[in-house]
Structure 1
Amino acid sequence: MLILSAAAIASEPIYWVDLGLKNGINLGFFTLRYYSLAYLAGIVLGYWHLTRMIKAPGAPMAQRHADDLFFYCTIGIILGGRLGYATFYTGGSTGIPSLWLHPKELFALWHGGMSFHGGLIGTTVAMAWVAWRGGLSFIRVTDYVSVCVPFGMMFGRLANFVNGELWGRVAGPDVRWAMVFPDGGPLPRHPSQLYEAALEGALMIVIMLLVFWRTRARYRPGLLTGIFVTGIAIARFCVEFFREPDQQLQSFAMRTGLSMGQWLTIPMMALGLILIARALARRPLASGRPLPA
């Protein structure tokens, strides 16, 4: 908000370097990256909120299941995000050698490269494993976890901004909050990381918390998951119009008219709407159990 307020009265674009941001905390022998802290903060805050949710009526799991989800979803986020990046953003016509041909590089997380859609797949696999092993309803597990995911998405996008990466497209003169990023050339660009933090993070946090705590959505299996998937997909699709496509995929975006991120959100929108319609068409649960016929 301070940045936007300053931009409203400024005649020159904002220079990212003038904000004095650093990508981590220098401990002398090691630099603690804010991007790593963002992942950690999102996971820990999500776990804390999940433990609160399962204490409310209608919870489909116990504390031991929440503990398992915390462990396995962390692994799913990291492995899924990295493998998704290797699959969707390297190889082929991207101009970057496929990471699948260099297995050792898959574990070089410090070189960057994480895919949201890959992390989503990894988390889904982790939830399916915990649900199967614990004899839980998979869709109800995803309902509860989906409420907590936007915390991590907001922190992650803010960390992208602090790192000065994943900046947006060149902005017009009417965009008073446009910024000049170090590696983005001399022209001011949309701070699309902040757009994503606001839409995929803050807005979805408000929506999911209100729907969970102020309605009986938890008693309609699949409704919370559907709202989350649809909301995230719409937010990501819209922000991609302002986000600069990955350099290796710019030709792909020009050929198809949409970025890789937008193409990947289309099936997400369809899935989310199907889940919402299915949840609303079925009889709700009572205290987590089906109502008698």
Structure 2
Amino acid sequence: MWLDTIYHATNPVAFALGPLTVRWYGLAYLAGFVCAGLVMMRTSRRWRLGLTSDEVLNIVVGVAFGVIVGARLGYVLFYGAGYYLANPIKILAFNEGGMSFHGGLVGAIVGGALVCRQMRISIPTVCDLAVIGAPIGLFFGRCANFINGELWGKPTDLPWGVMFSNTGGGYVYRHPSQLYEAILEGIVIFVVLYALSRRVPPRPQGTFLGTFLALYGCFRFLIEFVRMPDSQLGYLLGTGWLTMGQCLSVPLAILGVVLVVWAHRLDRPQVGHLESARG
């Protein structure tokens, strides 16, 4: 079990400076936002949108705040199972973990949209730019989940199984479902979207957001079959297989397909500042 050896040899704490402890999880968020911003800047230049580096930075900051707040609130609403109603102060306990991708997605759109509205930049185009770089952040985040030994998979006898130390389920090798997600939600989606973004003039507004949602929804739904459900929720509706992650991912996949169809029917060009839009 070679991957198990790597897991146990990796410390969740990247480094410590006196009382300050920096974990890989926090660095993953930072690296994700930085790389996403660089991808947005590079793509906007290739598309000739006229966005400055300061404008892209402002958008990334808005998205970052939206992701953090939205991911936390999403976890509280969808995965809290009543715990946070009884302990509302714990909602602010970010150090105890608990972030939801689906909530983070909503927060990212809201945070980015508020900044774009203030600077009069096209929100649909920025959404398309952002999701091209977003898979890089997902990749880093899932790798950090693996290092932290959280969101583990079901038992397996495959040669890359990992015996996570805090499962409470005994000495059992499990699917490294975090890394499955890192590959599919991170690498695969990024390669697809980046390849699509190479065309100039770019594909219509909504194409990239729709493709991202469709692919993420499908990949997340499939990976949930080898990932353990959240312990406080278990399987839903007494099915023995349906998880909250699947319930939240199906609408994403459907919405993604609808967006792609809608984008190509309307055929609206990608624009930067709203003053540059025509019609």
Under a length normalisation based on structure 2, what TM-score does the superposition of the two structures give?
0.89
Moved more, 111-120 or 52-61: 52-61
Q: Given the alignment of the two structures, is residue 152 of structure 1 paired with residue 154 of structure 2, yes or no?
A: no
**Alignment map for 1:68-87 (pairs within 5 Å):** 68-87=58-77
Deviation, 1:251, is 4.2
Identity %: 34
Match for residue 59 of structure 1? 49
Q: Which runs of 4+ in 1 moved over 6 A?
A: 286-292
1:173-195 CA deviation, whole Å, 9 max, x = no partner?
Answer: 3x221121112321211010110
Letter in 2 for 1:182: S
- Number of aligned residue pairs: give it: 273
CA distance in 2, matches of 1:160, 1:34: 9
Aligned to 2:159: 176
- Equivalent residue letter for 1:201: G
**Which residue matches 1:212?**
197
Match in the other structure for 1:227: 211
CA distance, structure 1, for counterparts of residue 153 and residue 175 of structure 2: 5
Q: Give unpaired runs (5+ residues) of structure 2.
A: none
Query: For the residues of structure 2 that align with 1:159 and 1:260, how far apart are their CA atoms?
Result: 22
Map 1:14-29; keep pairs closer than 5 Å: 14=4, 19-24=8-13, 25-29=15-19
For 1:75 and 1:144, how far apart are their aligned partners in 2? 17
The AA in structure 2 aligned to 1:180 is M
Alpha-carbon RMSD across the aligned residues, in angstroms, is: 2.3
Structure 1 runs not aligned, ≥5 long: 8-13
Distance 1:249 1:28, change over 3 A: same
- In 2, the alpha carbon distance for the partners of 1:217 and 1:227 equals 18
Given that 1:143 and 1:218 are in contact with CA atoms closer than 8 Å, whether structure 2 keeps it comes out as: no
Matching residue within 146, 156, 175 for 1:161: 146
- CA–CA separation in structure 1 for the residues paired with 2:58 and 2:47: 21
CA contact (8 A) 2:143 2:178 kept: yes
Question: Does structure 1 residue 134 correspond to structure 2 residue 139?
Answer: no
Matched residues in 1 for 2:181 and 2:145: separation? 10
Instruction: Quote the Cα distance in structure 2 between the aligned partners of 1:248 and 1:33.
Output: 25
What letter corresponds to residue 39 of structure 2 in structure 1?
H
The Cα of 1:101 is off from its aligned counterpart by 4.5
Shift of 1:257: 3.9
The verdict on how the C-alpha distance between 1:100 and 1:129 changes in structure 2, with shifts beyond 3 A counting, is farther
Structure 1 stretch displaced more, 161-170 or 178-187: 178-187
The offset of 1:252, in angstroms, is: 2.4
TM-score normalised by L of structure 1: 0.85
Which letter does structure 2 place at the counterpart of 1:197? A
Describe the shift of the 1:164–1:82 C-alpha distance in structure 2 as closer, same or farther (beyond 3 A): same
Deviation at 1:84, TM superposition (A): 0.7
Note if contact 1:60-1:137 (Cα within 8 Å) is conserved in structure 2. Answer: no
* Residue 30 of structure 2: aligned partner: 40
Match in the other structure for 2:245: 261
**Structure 2 CA distance for aligned equivalents of residues 66 and 182 of structure 1:** 41
SS of residue in 2 equivalent to 1:241:
helix
